[in-house]
A and B are shown apart, each in its own frame.
Chain A
Amino acid sequence: MTTQSRVPSIPAPAAPRTGRRAPVRGRTLRTDRWWAQPAVTVAVLTSFVVYSTWAAFVDRDYFWEPYLSPFYSPCLATRCGLVPGSQGAPHVGIFGSWWIISPAIIILIVPLGFRLTCYYYRKAYYRSFWLSPPACAVAEPHRRYTGETRFPLILQNVHRYFFYLGFLLNIVLSYDAVIAFRDHQGRWGHAGLGTLVLVLNALLLWAYTLSCHSCRGIVGGRLNHFSRHPVRYRLWTWVSRWNRYHGQIAWVSLVWVALADLYVRLVAAGWITDVRFF
């Protein structure tokens, strides 16, 4: 026997109850150090933004054969290689010689947009910078709240496009890590501390990109019948496993990319000598 499935009718919502909330005084009654996590987030993110802004605009000391700073890769202006500490830097002159400021500005839009619209970072900066809310059950200071329904925050929905671009960027950074297995004269089969730094950087960025919530949705999250898509289901379970650690990976990869730039910068500027393994 079969039945006819009918589309259910949906009642209009009833008028909200007009009772009053318990007048409990104070922004929160929490007694733990709820402010510690947003404070640490502000400190780390601000440090990163200050360092990366300086590193992006300083426009020198970003290449020492065979190491190219991840902040300047891929280098898209012919200006690359002409400034001190960048001689011989590989580049694609898409932007030509008319681009007269740091070429890092061009490519950094991709990781900046990817991290700015990332679901994890949104949580981190909404809580710590915008205090919306600063911590769970701690009242936020804003009188009105529209969330991500209006401009500019509705643009957070473009996250997946930055994921696609970030994926392509990771391929380039992985290439940089591979060509770092050369010595300063360009001979293959050598490695130094910089090689290790760039390889770890590429691995962490892949971990961050592939554990992303948008990636999870794209590989299989939008399916309702996993049983009909065994390969995508396997990919989805793999991404889901990594997705649990997306927040931690986000922090580690963020700090490491800055350290990678710093290492290349110190070597290119002659402040330190690259430690050669073989």
Chain B
Amino acid sequence: MGYDLKLRVWRGDENGGGLVDFTVPVEEGEVVLDAIHRLQATQAHDLAVRWNCKAGKCGSCSAEINGRPRLMCMTRLSLFDPAEPVTVTPLRTFPVIRDLVTDVSFNYEKAKTVPPFTPPEGLALGEYRMAQVDVERSQEFRKCIECFLCQNVCHVIRDHEENKQHFAGPRFFIRYAELDMHPLDTLDRKRQLRDEHGLGLCNITKCCTEVCPEGIKITDNAIIPMKERVVDTRYDPLTRFIRRFRSPEQPRRPAPERQGQTAADS
């Protein structure tokens, strides 16, 4: 059964803006993105909203709904009390372009600084051979749809803009974990992860895991294991001592310094 939804949408751009109230007719079974589209089609034709697949797989329609980071296309209206307004605002952590659209290029810049998969020398495409059991852990992280809800909710940069320079964020911590756990990768990125991408800034409060629409256990399966691996190489003299007498599973080369980096940077 349909009803009139009280919708409160943030409208504006980087110069200012505010919450604007609308009443939008909605039907049973609809999601927040349906209401936003109806609003755009009938009342606010110039409302800026980014969307694509409407199936929770493209990661485009990230927003904050009643203050919680969510995908608009995966948030059923039945979650909310029909008598109460539903508030939709843009992601807080990134610069706003207009209305519900934010500039998420911070994430693309960070992505460029993560050393890519580096297979052993002499191994060509098509020659990779791995046991399923060895790649299962990494495969969980491949489910990421890059909605950047985890980046948005992470208080390290959400509440402290100054940390953006030194913090890659949960999305890239799972990228590091995916590569570090990969049986064929040959780079050791742990120094970089700690020194340049701020793994130590994470205080494992698990908000990234709570908001992930793909259900990736970001903290338990990526961040904490990577923290433990950093402890292995950096803070645990006993493990380092024992490892001196045992050959590692597969020796890894240190990841390259980034361009323009000097010794003083690290």
**Contact of A13 with B109 in the complex, beta carbons under 8 Å:** yes
Do A137 and B203 touch across chains, with their CB atoms under 8 A apart? no
Contacts of A189 in B (CB 8 A): none
Whole-angstrom distance between the Cβ of A161 and the nearest chain B Cβ: 8
Closest to B84 in A: A31
Whether A145 contacts B249 by the Cβ 8 Å rule is no
Given A9-B259, A21-B96, A122 and B204 contact (CB-CB distance below 8 Å): yes
- Distance to closest chain A CB from B30 (angstroms): 20
Contact bitstring A2-20, B, C-beta under 8 A = 1, else 0: 1111011111111011111
Interface string of B63-89 (1 = CB under 8 A from A): 010111100000000000000100101
Q: Which residues of A contact B118 (CB under 8 A)?
A: 5, 7-8
Q: What chain A residues lie within 8 Å of B93 (beta carbons)?
A: 21
- A61→B215 CA distance, assembly (Å): 49
Contact of B131 among A32, A227, A244 (CB under 8 A): A227
- Check: B12 CB closer than 8 A to any chain A CB: yes
Q: How far is the CB of A229 from chain B (nearest CB, A)?
A: 9
Cα distance A30–B69 in the bound complex, in angstroms: 10
Q: How far is the CB of A42 from chain B (nearest CB, A)?
A: 15
| A to B contact number (C-beta, < 8 Å) | 226
Number of interface residues of A (CB under 8 A): 68
The distance in angstroms between the C-alpha atoms of A222 and B112, with both chains bound, is 26
Establish whether residues B112 and A13, one from each chain, have CB atoms under 8 Å apart when the complex forms: yes
Q: Is the CB of B133 within 8 A of A233?
A: yes
Per-position binary interface string of chain B over residues 12-41, scored 1 when its CB falls under 8 Å from any chain A CB and 0 otherwise: 101011010000000000000000000000
Residues of B contacting A146 in the complex (Cβ-Cβ under 8 angstroms): 201
* Distance (whole angstroms) from the CB of B145 to the closest CB of chain A: 19
A224 to B164, CA, bound (A): 30
Whether B146 sits at the interface, judged by CB under 8 Å, is: no
- Residues on B with C-beta less than 8 A from A160 are 228, 231, 236
Nearest 9 CB-CB pairings of A with B? A19-B95, A29-B67, A30-B67, A217-B228, A147-B201, A136-B207, A227-B131, A149-B200, A22-B96
B interface residues (Cβ-Cβ under 8 A, vs A): 10, 12, 14, 16-17, 19, 64, 66-69, 84, 87, 89-90, 92-97, 102-103, 105-106, 109-110, 112-116, 118-125, 127, 131, 133-134, 153, 155-156, 158-160, 163-165, 180-183, 186-187, 198, 200-207, 210-211, 220, 224-225, 227-232, 234-236, 238, 249-250, 253, 255-261
Given contact pairs A5-B119, A148-B202, A157-B234, enumerate 16 new A-B contacts (beta carbons under 8 Å): A1-B124, A5-B123, A7-B255, A11-B259, A13-B109, A16-B109, A30-B68, A122-B203, A122-B204, A123-B206, A133-B205, A139-B159, A149-B198, A157-B235, A224-B249, A244-B220
